[in-house]
Structure formats: structure tokens, C-alpha cells
Structure 1
Amino acid sequence: MTQPRAERMPRRGVSLAVLIVNQLLAGVGVASGMALAAILVADLTDVTAMGGLAQSSSVLGAALVAVPLARLAVRAGRHVALATGYACAFAGAVLVVTAAASGWAPLVFLGLAAFGAAAAAGLQARFAATEIAAPGFEARSMSLVLWATTIGSVAGPLLSQVGDEFGRSLGLPALVGPFLFSAVAFALSTVLVATLLRTPRAGHLATDEGPGDRAAAFDAATAEPVAVESATHGTTPAVAPVSAAPAPVAPAPVAQPPVAAKRVGAWQALRTAVRNPTALVAILSIVCSHTVMVGVMVMTPVHMTQHGMSLALVGIVISIHILGMYGASPLMGWLADRIGSTRVIAIGAGILLTATSIGILAPGDDAVLVPIALGLLGLGWSAGLIGGSTLLTTAVDTSLRVPLQGATDAAMNVAAAASAALSGVVLGIGGFAGVNVVAIIVLVPLAIAGLRLRMLGRRAPA
């Protein structure tokens, strides 16, 4: 039992260290370029409103490559998929520099879309961390990889001024230099994961090989879950199907392995998983948490400046928000491993509800409650993402795991792009309180799915 597991998990400690360093580099690459992308686009087009499309281009690019990267991970391995994602981001950064230097603005948007592949690869890296983790440490391993993003996200904007000066010294236009730093960071990430990262076969965890296997069995013929994760303990007790007793039904499961062995597409995996109550909670936790966070976060600077707050205070509030997103991720990972991922999801939803409630009630110029709301918003996102991602890796069979991860990340990014685009309209109609009310409505499907899973968990012993 021990030897095969060692063969499947070569250099576990080295691989985790590679993922952590890679996230740091990728975080620097993303943050240093995107910090000035909106201003760069606005300057090139002479249209201030076009600056908002910079972030949308990057987010949509991440959504477009999420599924292909997941397919590549299944075929060739996580290291190939991650290296491909960062190589695309490198090409995007070079394209942005070239397009900005030549003054051809449309190519900048194409470059920013390719730039978004780094975000998609960074999200896939969190699943790679669970595959190299020791049994029972999956969430903590994921949280450490996410935590490394904190350093990169903070260091990236700090390098913007240095990058701009460096670019000017090379004769490049203003605001282009930071993308050179991004290109270097993505190039290093590509080489690092391609040469040093080795993981088990994509979608396989250490627990899949032992008696503690927590992957939910799923009957592909009936699409009925036969194992449901307990909402109170975070484990997966077996639930015997009521119709399993009659003898004529017994041969049916024997015919399933050839079906499970087939390659499953991302959208097929998503359609199958939403009929599994546990997987549905995991998917909604990731998508809803990210949608709420993006929708409220992108409008907070606008809301603050409209009420006379300084840009310095805006910067402090966003820093507090980022600290809440990534700084507490090791705590969320520890909690997910200790008390169960479903409880962490519930905690995250509660924190998000608290944050949005404060956003509704706080005066627009309150310099205390607004930072508290944004800090809690980031903290709730961290709990929802880590809890949901950990649950997603154990809620379905291994044949569905990686395609479902890609589809979920794509859905998350599409929802974020829509949230960012619509939140400005909501702000104009209903103010910042309206933005937070809509955010609470987004949490309703997650609450309903969570209550349903809890009721199934209580009925499981029967």
C-alpha cells in the first residue's frame, strides 16, 4: 500500500515548495501589470470608460482558457497545463508591450486576454496542491499556495513605479514598463513548473488509494448520488440505495466501469455534478463567493471617492481587503481539514452576509465601517473558495474531478466578469446599498443548496 502511493507522489515537499514559489512569482506578474492596465488603456484610447474593459478582458481570458487547461492537465499532467498557462500570459504581456509601443490599442485587449491565462493557471494550482498533499492536509496545502499570492499581490503594485521608470529608460511609452516585469515573472513561472513540478495524475488524491477514500460514488446511469457528505462533520458516510435489495438490480453497477473510464468533458461533468447535492454546494460556494466579492469590491473605490474619501484611504481599504482574501487562507485551510469543508463554507457565507449587511447600513463616508466591511468581504471569499474547492475535490468520482474543476473555474470567471459589469449599473440605480443587496441575493442559491445537503445528511443514517 505504501510503495504505490510513494510512486504516485514523487517529491511531495519539493512540489509544494515549487507551487508556493510559483504563486509568488505569478502574483507579482499579475499585480504589477494589472495595477496600471486600466490607466494604460484609457491613455491609448483617449476614452476613460474604456479603462474598465482592461479588467474585463483579463477575466474573460481566464474564463476561456480554464477548461482547455483542465483538459491538458488530464492528458499531459498538471505541470504541462500550468506551464502552458503561464507561457500564454508571458505572450500576452509581450503583446501588450508591443501594442502599446506601436499605439495599436485593439491588440492591447487581446494581450490582456492572454494575460488572464495566468489567473486561470493560478486557480488550477490550488487543485494541484491538494493532489500532492498528505491525507488529511489537502485544504491546508491549498491554503498555503493561495497565501503565497498575498506576497505577490502586495509586491506587484509596489514595483509599478520602478517598472515604469525602467520602461521609460528603454524608450517605451509611459505605463508600459511594468508589463516587462510581468513578462519576466511569467517566464520564470513557466520554466519553474515545467522543470521542477511533479504531481500525481491530475485528479487523484492520496486518499483515493486508501481505506479513507472520500470520493463520492456516483451512479452514471441514474445520476443519483449514492454517497452524501455530512453537513455536520465534513465526512462522507455511505448511503445504501433503497432499491439495491432486489436481485435483478444487482448486475447494473457491474456495467458502469467502462462508462466511468471514458473521457468526460467539462460541461458534461458540470451537468452531472449539479445533480450531486454535495458537488452542487461546492460549485455554488466557489461561484457565489467570487461573484459577491467582485461585485462589491470593484464598486467600493467609486463609492468612497463619491463621498469625498481620499485615494490614500481607498488604497488602504483595498489592501485590507486583499489581506482578508489571502492572509487568512492558512487559517481557513486548517479549519477545513479540522472541522470539515461544509462548515467552512457555512462560515464563509455567514461572513459574506455580515460584510454586505454592513455595506448596506454604513454611511458612505464612514472611515471605520467601510474598511471593516471590505476586510470581512475578503475573509468570506477566502472561506468560500477554500471550503468549496476542497469539497469539490472529494465530492465526485476521479473521472469527473479535473473536468469539473475547469468548468467551475470558467463559470466563476464568467460570473465575475458579469458581476463587475453590472455592479456599476446597480450602483447608479440603488447606490452602494443596492450593490450589497444584490450581493445578498446572489448568496440565496448557496443557502438553499446548503440546507438541502444538511437535510440529506440528517436522513443518511436512516
Structure 2
Amino acid sequence: MNERRLRGSSMPTPAAQTRTPRRGLSLTVLVVNQLLAGVGVASGIAVAALLVEELTGAVALAGLAQSASVLGAAIVAIPLARLAIRSGRHVALATGYALAMTGAVLVIAASATGWVPLVFLGLAAFGAGAAAGLQARFAATEVAAAGFEARSMSIVLWATTIGSVAGPLLAATGDEVGVALGLPPLVGPFLFSGVAFGLSTLLVASLLRLPKPGTMATDAAEPAVLAEPAVLAEPAVLAEPAVLAEPAVLAEPAEAASPVQSGSPSPGEERSIGAWAAFRTAVRDPRALFAILAIVCSHTVMVGVMVMTPVHMTAHGLSLSLVGVVISIHIIGMYGASPLVGWLVDKIGPPRVIAIGAGILTVSALIGILAPADDMLLVPLALGLLGLGWSCGLIGGSTLLTTAVEPSVRVPLQGATDAAMNLAAAASAALSGVVLGAAGFAGVNVVALLVLVPLVVAGVRAMMWQRAAAEQ
């Protein structure tokens, strides 16, 4: 019966057929936009911690820069998901990038006046750019052909590589431009961020058009996503019972909790599902919980270590240019290999890729514990592996999350997961400065290892659940 629900509406409607040729255009717009957004995010984040340390004179407060940005991303994640359901993905993305542009302007104004609280407010608004960029990965799956969801997601993430690598490398140039314009040191990169986010806003608002997520359960796009488990299951036996069985597990409590999740929801019905209600329902299922923790833990580890790396390096006498090189290598690890990661997800299944990512993050943390701060071989290696492990966790977890639940739950759950991810990362960024001051960079990496423990436990539990389901 559940399999019939998954496949019963697989025939495309005429409206869906007319939208198919637009997939290429929509994906192209998402790719170009992610390039610009990558410049916007990376230009400011590369110097945000240093800027706060300069303004406050306290190393322990440096982590609050990233914390404010990530907290801002967490705050807007659910409203942006609701806006996507109500008005379309393009409206939600444009709103996020416009908020980020406003944040960059606030940071510049606050730094020029020396009013520190306004800097944190600006960084919080700046975080909306990251939230919008994360939503773009789900938009990519909505325009993908069946069986290519993970690869489409990875292509959009890969496009962020160019902008994200260029952003930190432009930090020194941006600083020079800012000083030439009479701005304080370390503020200039936010000029580049503001321009990049402004262009992203215009591009998405004017060119990107996607079906509302709430309408996709009845057209060809949703069945394509729902049919994907069968495609993924053939090359990966490990993923088969979990992906096919999960909607059935989630369907029972969902139907009991809300009539929205039975049958094919209409756009109005989809809006009635609360993000946290969807989140609470999903965490009861081992596979959905594994997907959520893959996203949350991977991002938390990445943010906690990455944000303290510039402070750690400059404290040992390394230049801003070298900091930019290391952060660029880290971002290459995050996005450069994402097409390969997406291909692996489609071939061997999300659970295995998540496990690979957890292993890579563990190796990165161990190198970070042992490597000297001025070792320009091991430190970039650790940061590159940190980014690669994040990529495996994010793409694997996001794909599993997308295919694990019914359409009526999907978008609210995506927003809730992104909010949880950013809240955890905000706490990690805030505490990482304290840990760095008390236990050094090695202590920051030890904490990162501890964050991975819940992910490992959830993975083992999901594997046992899967075996039990296979034996029934």
C-alpha cells in the first residue's frame, strides 16, 4: 500500500511536461547565483572573527562573529521555508540575499562608528545569505530529473566553490579598497559582500522561477523525487530497505497527527504543517534522525573548527594572506569535490557517504590536534579534509532527508533541519573562542570529535533498524 502511494501518481501531468524544458535554465540560474553568493559569504566571513577581535580586544569574543552569523541563518531558515511554500523558492532566496546585503551595510556602518552591538546585528542579518544558499541545494533537487537529485544538488554546491575560494583571496584586496575609502581596517571585504549579495538578489528575483514546493506533490517533479529510492536502491543494497521503508514509518504518526500527510496535499494544506511538528515526527524514525544528525553534526564541527583557524594562525604570526589561502583550501574541500560526492550518493547510497564523511572529519580533527600552527602543510590539509567531510555529511544527509519523508513534510522539515543545524553551529562558534583561549586549537578539535559521537550512535542504530526491517 505504501509502495502504491509512492508510485501511484508517477505519470506526469501536462503542466509538469511544459515545465521540464525549464529545468536547464533554472539550474543555470542557481549555479550562477551560488557563485555570487559564495563571494558574498566568504569575503565577509574570512575576516569577521578578526574584525570582532579588533573591535573588542578579546579573543574569546572572536567566535561570536561567526556565532551571530550562524544564529541569523538559524532564525531565518524556517521563515524562508514558509515563504518558499507560500510564494515560491525564488522569492525566499531573493529575500535571504537581500537581508544579507543589508547585513553587510550594517557591519560597514557599525565598524565605521565603533558601535560594537550593531556589528553583531549586521552579522546576524549577513547570515541570511548562508541560509538562502543552503535552501538553494533543495531547489536544485526540485528541478532535477529522477535519479539525479544528489548530483544536481552537488552541482549547485560546487558552483559555490569559485565564489567561496575567490572571497577569502580577495580579503586583502578588499581591505586595501576599504582603507582607501576611509574605512577602518578589515571592513573593506564587506563591501565586496554587499555588492555580491545585491547582484544575487537581482538575479534570483528576475530570472529564477520554480513551482511552489506545495504544488509539486501533484506534478512530475515530486514523483521524480519519490521514485528516486528505487534508483538509489539498486546499486546500494544497504540503502534499499531504509529509503523505501522510511516513508511508511513516517506515514503512520504523520497521518495520526495531521490529515495533511494523507493523499496528495494541496498548497493550502501544506502550509498548515508546522516546521517543528515535522521535525518532531521525523526524529522518531531512525533513518530520518540519521539524516538530520548528519547535517547538524557535520556543519557544527565544520563551523567550530573553521572559525577559530584564522585567529589561531594570526596569533602565531601568520599573515592575513596565508589565512586566506588556508580558508580557500578549506572551501575547495567543501565544494570542489561536491560533484563526486553527489555521484557517490546516487551510486552507493546516502548512508555510506555519510559514514565516509564522519571518518574524514575524524581524521581532520586528529591532524588539527597534532599539527603546529605554522605548519603550512598539515594545517591546510586538516582544513581541506574538514571541508570534504562536511560535503559528504551535507549532501548525503540532505539527499536522505529529501527522500525519507512524504512531500507534505518535506519543505517544513528542511527548514527545521537547517534551523537546528545553524543553532548548533552558532553555539559551537560561540564556545570555540572560549575553548581556544582555555585549551588551544587542539582543544577545539577535541570538542569536534565529541560532536561526532551522536552521529555515530545514530548511524549504528539506523543500520540495526534497517537490518531488522530487511528480515521482516
Separation in structure 1 between the aligned mates of residue 64 and residue 26 of structure 2, nearest angstrom: 36
**Does residue 357 in structure 1 map to residue 366 in structure 2?**
yes
In the alignment, is the contact (CA less than 8 A) between 1:234 and 1:341 conserved in 2? no
What is the aligned residue count? Answer: 442
**Residue number among 303, 308, 333 corresponding to 1:324 in the alignment:** 333
For 1:415, which of 424, 435, 446 is the aligned residue? 424
Do 1:234 and 1:342's aligned partners in 2 also have CA atoms closer than 8 Å? no
Q: Letter of the aligned partner of 2:117 in structure 1?
A: P
Identify the residue that residue 402 of structure 1 maps to in structure 2. Answer: 411
1:296 alignment partner, one of 294, 301, 305: 305
Q: For 1:19-61, what per-residue CA distance to the aligned partner results, in whole angstroms no more than 9, with x for missing partners?
A: 1111111111222233333444455556665544322221111
Query: Contact 1:307–1:364 at 8 Å: present in 2 too?
Result: yes
- Equivalence for 1:138: 149
Inter-partner Cα distance in structure 1 for 2:177 and 2:375? 39
Q: Which has more helix, going by share of residues? A: 2
1:286 maps to which of 289, 295, 303 = 295
What is the CA distance between 1:278 and its match in structure 2? 1.4
1:460 counterpart = 2:472: no
Which of 446, 450, 454 aligns to 2:459? It is: 450
Task: Report deviation, 1:176.
Answer: 3.8
Q: How far does residue 362 in structure 1 lie from its aligned partner after superposition?
A: 4.5
CA distance in 1, matches of 2:48, 2:443: 28
**Which structure 2 segments of 5+ residues have no match?**
1-10, 231-235
- Quote the offset at 1:201 in angstroms: 2.5
**Worse overlay, 424-433 or 396-405:** 424-433
Matched residue of 1:133: which SS?
coil
Give the superposition deviation at 1:122. Answer: 0.6
Deviations 1:239-258, CA, capped at 9 Å, x for gaps = 8989xxxxxx9xx9799745
Matched, 1:271 2:285: no
Match of 1:245 in 2: none
* 2:366 alignment partner AA: S
Alignment RMSD: 3.2
**Residue identity in the other structure for 2:459:** G
* Aligned equivalent of 2:135, options 124, 127, 139: 124
Structure 1 position 357, deviation (Å):
3.0
Paired residues of 1:164 and 1:174 also in contact (CA < 8 A): yes
Check 1:231–1:288 CA distance in 2 against 1; reply closer, same or farther (3 A cut).
farther
Which of 196, 206, 209 is the matching residue for 2:223?
209
Distance 2:211 2:382 in 1: 40
* Structure-2 separation of matches of 1:255 and 1:431: 48
Q: Tell me, yes or no, if the aligned pair for 2:165 and 2:332 is still in contact at 8 Å.
A: no
Equivalence map 1:89-168=2 (5 Å): 89-168=100-179
Report the equivalent of 2:386: 377
User: Residue 165 of structure 2 aligns to which amino acid in structure 1?
Assistant: V
8 A Cα contact 2:174 2:191, kept in partner? yes
**Cα distance in 2 between the residues matched to 1:158 and 1:328:** 19
Matching residue of 1:348: 357
Task: Give the drift of 1:155.
Answer: 1.6
Alpha-carbon distance in structure 2 between the residues aligned to 1:187 and 1:412:
26
Deviations 1:318-337 (A, max 9, x none): 33222111111111011111
Q: Say which is worse superposed, 102-111 or 122-131, in terms of deviation.
A: 102-111
Change (3 A) 1:210 1:99: closer
For residues 281-328 of structure 1, what are the alpha-carbon distances to aligned partners after superposition, in whole Å with 9 as ceiling and x for unaligned?
110000011112222233344555666766665444333222111111
Pairing 1:388–2:397 present: yes
Sort the Cα spacing of 1:8 and 1:193 in 2 relative to 1 into closer, same or farther, 3 A: same
Match of 2:200 in 1: 189
Q: In the superposition, relative to structure 1, how do residues 68 and 173 fare at CA in structure 2: closer, same or farther (>3 Å)?
A: same
Quick one: structure 1 residues 51 and 8, their matched pair in 2 at CA, closer, same or farther if it must change by over 3 Å?
Answer: same
Specify which of 20, 24, 49 is matched with residue 13 of structure 1. 24
Query: What is the alpha-carbon distance in structure 2 between the residues aligned to residue 362 and residue 171 of structure 1?
Result: 39
Three-state SS of the structure 1 residue aligned to 2:243 is: coil
**Distance change >3 Å, CA 187–CA 374, structure 1 → 2:** closer
> How much has 1:173 moved relative to structure 2?
4.5
Identity between Structure 1 and Structure 2 (%): 71
Provide Cα deviations, 1:41-84, integer angstroms capped at 9, x if missing partner. Answer: 45555666554432222111111111110111111110010011
Task: Name the structure 2 match of 1:236.
Answer: 243
Give the aligned partner of residue 81 of structure 2. Answer: 70
Preserved CA contact (<8 Å) 2:242 2:287: no
Quote the Cα distance in structure 2 between the aligned partners of 1:266 and 1:211: 20
CA distance in 1, matches of 2:240, 2:387: 25
Residue of structure 2 equivalent to 1:224: none
Instruction: Please report how far the alpha carbon of residue 174 of structure 1 lies from its aligned counterpart in structure 2 after TM superposition.
Output: 4.5
Letter in 2 for 1:347: I
Q: Shift of residue 452 of structure 1?
A: 1.8
Contact 2:295/2:397, CA 8 A, preserved across alignment? yes
Is this contact kept in 2: 1:214–1:395, CA < 8 A?
A: no
Preserved CA contact (<8 Å) 2:94 2:204:
yes
Kindly provide the CA deviation profile for residues 389-425 of structure 1, in whole angstroms up to 9, marking residues without a partner as x.
Answer: 1111111111111111111111111111111222333
Q: Which structure has the larger Rg over C-alpha atoms?
A: 1
* CA deviations over 1:183-221 (Å, ceiling 9, x no partner): 2221211111112112232264856326963589xxxxx
CA distance in 2, matches of 1:440, 1:255: 37
1:449 is displaced (CA, Å) by 1.5
What amino acid is the match of 2:457? I
> Does residue 1:25 correspond to 2:36, yes or no?
yes
Tell me the secondary structure at the aligned position of residue 36 of structure 1.
helix
In structure 2, how many angstroms separate the alpha carbons of the residues matched to 1:271 and 1:99? 39
Instruction: Extract unaligned runs of 5+ from structure 1.
Output: 217-228, 243-248
Deviations along 1:149-185, one digit per CA (max 9) or x if unpaired, are 1111122233344444444555544444433332222
Secondary structure of residue in 2 paired with 1:460: helix
